Amino acid sequence: MTIKEFSNLCGCNPQTIRYYDRMNLLKPVKVDDWTGYRFYDERQALDFVKIKNLQTAGFTIDEIKELLDADNEAIYEAFTKKIKEQEDRLNAMLEIQKSYQSEITEMTKKIEEVRAEIIMRMEDYNPSLEFGIGNATYDHVKGQVDDFFDSIIKNRDYNKLEYIDNDENSEEIKQDLLNDPNLVTCYEKHGWDAVKDFYDEFSDLNDSQEYMLLFELASDKSNWTGFANTILGMLILKNKARKRKLDCKINNSKDGNNHFWLLIRKNDEVGK
């Protein structure tokens, strides 16, 4: 039988038969030396049925090859084993499905707790002396924090939570940032009293770039969470039309003076 006749007998297209040939699953009984035409025996249709059903059941090519010469009892046992594997996999997926929703619920609860803690610290923070902003602007800044957490919950982008907690940074983090070959210091200020005195010097951010704000603060600036979220919120408001990634790290000052570094990714353009 030609490959076309054989594929008609099997109820498939010739491409399937050629594929089984390439995979050494179903070889033709003869290949014409001159034309390269494949010829099959009608009894090979039984092998086709075996191969097709094993493949449909999820057996790999190698597994099918091992079963080609097996009797019906061995194949039936192989099906039983495969069914057990699929059942185990399905049960595992069902367990994952159950735990997924509970983990999402628990994570959302934790995010809301972090949100409440940050908002509470921001409510206790007076930004007027440090940043020179009034209540109306500060309300917008706090609104940015709410939007930030809403975005985390909606998009389930939990990695964004990393920058929020600024109470456990260290000198090691500072050195890692300043010595990072992928970061460039594009602005720095030392010995200042309040951010409002130099905010306009660095607050115009370039589009589509990643920035890191690094502060060393004197002991009188103790509400780091309020400080960090205020400066980030102000920058987001000012650069709202621009795509950018912001992060903020704060350390205790070693010399009692306030220090600030604005770093940018080295592969980004500086000073457009």
State what percent of residues in the chain have pLDDT above 70. Answer: 93
Per-residue confidence band for 268, with pLDDT thresholds at 50, 70 and 90: very low
Average pLDDT over residues 83-101: 92
Q: Which of 31-35, 75-79, 197-201, 244-248 has the lowest mean pLDDT?
A: 244-248
Q: Give the start-to-end residue ranges of the domains of the chain.
A: 3-69, 121-265
> Terminus-to-terminus CA distance in the chain, angstroms?
73
- Mean pLDDT (the chain) is 89
Higher pLDDT, 217 or 245: 217
The predicted pLDDT at position 271 comes to 41
Report how far residue 199's alpha carbon sits from residue 195's, in angstroms, rounded to the nearest whole number: 6
C-beta separation of 264 from 183 below 8 A: yes
Q: Does the domain made of 3-69 have the CATH classification 3.40.50.970?
A: no
Among 83-92, 117-126, 170-179, the minimum mean pLDDT is found in: 170-179
Give 2-24 pLDDT, tens digit per residue: 999 999 999 999 999 999 999 99
pTM: 0.60
Q: Is 271 left (phi over 0), alpha (psi -120 to 50) or beta?
A: left
Distance in angstroms (rounded) separating the CA atoms of residues 186 and 95? 50
Record the tokens describing residue 77, joined without a space.
Answer: 């046992």
Residue 198: per-residue pLDDT: 97
Tell me, what's the pLDDT at 195?
97
At residue 175, the pLDDT reads 85
pLDDT in tens, 51-63: 999 999 999 999 9
146 falls in which pLDDT band (50, 70, 90)? Answer: confident
Q: How far lies 110's CA from each of 32, 105, 152, in Å?
A: 71, 9, 12
Which one-letter DSSP state was computed for residue 257?
S
Q: Are the beta carbons of 144 and 231 closer than 8 angstroms?
A: no
State mean pLDDT over 151-166.
63
Q: Is it the case that residue 167 has pLDDT exceeding 70? A: no
